[in-house]
Amino acid sequence: MTRVLLGAAMMMSVQGAQAQTATAPVQPVATATSAATLRTGTEVPLRLSEELTTKGKKLRVGQRFHLEVAEPVMVQGVTVIPAGSPAIGEVTEVTNKGMWGKSGHLGARLLYATVNGRQIRLSGAFDDKGVAGGVGAVAASAIVFLPAGFFMTGTSARVPMGTIIKGFVDEDVPLAIATGTPPPLAISAPVPVASGQ
């Protein structure tokens, strides 16, 4: 009889421990967000992912080229445009080098960066001009022998891969930024069960 009562008491103790563990309150993880805005004019440093050059006469107006964000863009201490995010630009002007020492020239503008599948419009432009093929030499050779200046050419315009280009956000982008840190989950420890003798 004593063994039956002792066994029943142990069963009740185990069931009570299970009930306490099962009914322990678990707090849901909630993160608060605050509204913020990535403002027009925010600077976005970009790195050219490919070389742009008028050499070979392959560059065309309207041609697109690739860049990447060189440094993270932050709003309220939170990264909203991570470094390495892809960006796109467009060639707006191409002049190839030519006779009489004419140098090459190229112009380009920034279009957008992509973050989490969303395109963020950018503004900004850059250009490069090759070196003229010795204007003084062309003038002197033209006086001495006119056709000699005709064969002198300038250099091609070239913007090397890795060049840092300054861009700017060209639209206000609304953001939802997580604030604070979520509270840790409240997990109760199981009640120790007394071992029987």
- For residue 131, the model assigns a pLDDT of 60
Angle at 22 between CA 17 and CA 27, to 5 degrees: 130
Predicted structure pTM score: 0.63
What is the per-residue DSSP string for 147-159? Answer: HHHHT---PPPEE
174: tokens are 């609304």
Q: Which of 52, 4, 29 is nearest to 178 (CA)?
A: 29
- Using one digit for the tens of pLDDT, what is the confidence trace for 148-178? 444 455 788 889 999 999 999 999 999 887 7
Domains, the chain, with CATH or none: 33-175 (2.40.128)
- Using one digit for the tens of pLDDT, what is the confidence trace for 99-122? 445 678 899 999 999 999 999 999
How far apart are alpha carbons 122 and 87 in whole angstroms? 9
Low-confidence ranges of the chain (pLDDT < 50): 1-30, 99-100, 133-151, 183-189
Pairing label, strands 125-129, 118-123: unpaired
